[in-house]
Amino acid sequence: MARPARVTIQQPDGRHVYLYGDHTPAPAGYQAPSIQPGAYQRRWNPLRREWVLVAAARQGRTFLPDRSQCPLCGSTPGHSTEIPAARFDAAVFENRFPGMLATADRPPPEPGVRIEPSSGVCEVVVYTDEHEGSFGTLAPQRLDLLVEVWTDRYRALASREDVQYVFIFENRGEAVGVTLHHPHGQIYAYPFIPPVPDIELRAGSRGCLQCRLLADELADGRRVLIGERGLVAYVPGYARWPYEVHLVVRAHLGALPDLPAAGRRALGSAMQRVARAYDSLFGVPMPYMMALHQRPTDGRDHPQAHLHAEFYPIMRDQGKLKYLAGSESGAGVFINDTLAEESAARLRQRM
């Protein structure tokens, strides 16, 4: 696929909407929703040595609306949504309830607390205008388009001076905290390199860690789920989540734009295979997080960066969730109730 068609619309409150592929304009009388004023800051947590985003205007965010009130569907004459189009293939818009806001005012100083404007960009990626379904059920054309949308957003956000890391992710399922059912994901463009990719990059400062881990998994083979079309998916031997899967591009490439278009299609297709295996594992839609780790966009070289997707499904068994409780949250130690080798065998039957 060549770069997809993109139409940019700026809403009256300044937020951008990007319509990808084909679309039909919004009906007459479309009323764009508006962002609410509020405090958007980041504060330095000196105990954990990490930034905490403060977004004290999100409490009123849309919470599991009825289907007829879905803000991610196309707009109709009676219902203006986030999308200024009656129908569309895929859409991205700046979140009306963001965790970061590039245009936020500089916060007042707090004695003893290091505070900065939150900066950053939070976008919502609407996978399709069809309300039902999920990433796992997207039709091939929509899936191909979605990966191109991610690639385009990575490029566009990477070019911003205030963005150091483009984080493409999906939260799926109410148990993960999802407040809208319409198939969608998100992009957070952080003004710093976040701790998790940062520690991965540091761990690989003497050569690519992903390349080594990939080779180890392929040599062993028992935890490998997919190994084809330039991609390898496996349950890492050191998984934290019972059915955690890492999907790694075999070639040492740092970000989506580095992949040829066919490689991107293969990546989307492999991601979908993982999501489908999850849904068949316990016979219910699996609540999961998907995190795409790519090269930082801070203008420095990161030769060790290696594109991969990490899936964290949060069920540990039929009807049972894995919680991040005292050991995980208060000590930082995960407990995994499964052996990665056994989890991989179970998942492989579903692929």
Residues labelled catalytic: 184
Cα–Cα distance, 286 to 284 (Å, whole number): 6
Query: To the nearest whole angstrom, how small is the minimum distance from the Cβ of residue 85 to its own copies?
Result: 26
Q: Pick the closer one to its own copies by CB: 7 or 209.
A: 209
Residue 216 to residues 54, 131, 195, 213, 275, Cα–Cα distance (Å): 40, 41, 25, 5, 24
Q: Figure out which of the listed residues 207, 219, 283, 300 binds its own copies, where binding follows CB under 8 A.
A: 219
Question: Which region among 6-14, 25-33, 80-88, 284-292 touches its own copies (by CB under 8 A)?
Answer: 284-292
Query: To the nearest whole angstrom, how small is the minimum distance from the Cβ of residue 26 to its own copies?
Result: 29
Cα–Cα distance, 117 to 185 (Å, whole number): 25
Neighbours of 288 (CB within 10 A): 25
Q: What angle do CA 41, 46, 50 make, to 5 degrees?
A: 60
143 binds its own copies (CB under 8 A): no
Q: Figure out which of the listed residues 104, 245, 312, 313 binds its own copies, where binding follows CB under 8 A.
A: 312
Element (H, E) at 232: strand 231-234
Q: Pick the closer one to its own copies by CB: 189 or 253.
A: 189
Which of the residues 329 through 348 are near its own copies (CB under 8 A)?
329-342
Residue type, 142: R
Q: Figure out which of the listed residues 70, 176, 211, 261 binds its own copies, where binding follows CB under 8 A.
A: 176
301 binds its own copies (CB under 8 A): no
Question: Tokens 């860690």 correspond to what residue?
Answer: 209
Query: To the nearest whole angstrom, how small is the minimum distance from the Cβ of residue 326 to its own copies?
Result: 4
Q: Fill in the per-residue mask, 238 to 277: x = in contact with its own copies (CB under 8 A), - = not in contact.
A: xxx-------------------------------------
Radius of gyration of the CA atoms of the chain, in A: 20
Q: Which two tokens stand for residue 209?
A: 């860690």
Residue 5 to residues 88, 118, 152, 261, Cα–Cα distance (Å): 12, 31, 10, 15
126 binds its own copies (CB under 8 A): no
152 binds its own copies (CB under 8 A): no
Query: To the nearest whole angstrom, how small is the minimum distance from the Cβ of residue 42 to its own copies?
Result: 9
Question: Which region among 8-16, 17-25, 111-119, 147-155 touches its own copies (by CB under 8 A)?
Answer: 111-119
**Torsion 277-281-283-287 (CA) sign:** negative
Burial 146-169 (b: 16+ CB within 10 A, else e): bbbbbbbbbebbbebeebbbbbbb
Q: Pick the closer one to its own copies by CB: 151 or 338.
A: 338
Q: Figure out which of the listed residues 262, 284, 324, 351 binds its own copies, where binding follows CB under 8 A.
A: 324
**Torsion 183-31-98-167 (CA) sign:** positive
Q: Figure out which of the listed residues 99, 133, 227, 257 binds its own copies, where binding follows CB under 8 A.
A: 99
Q: Fill in the per-residue mask, 23 to 52: x = in contact with its own copies (CB under 8 A), - = not in contact.
A: ----------------x---xxxxxxxxxx
Question: Phi and psi (nearest 5°) for 96?
Answer: -80, -15
Q: Fill in the per-residue mask, 178 to 217: x = in contact with its own copies (CB under 8 A), - = not in contact.
A: x-------x-x-x---xxxxxxx--x-----x---x--xx
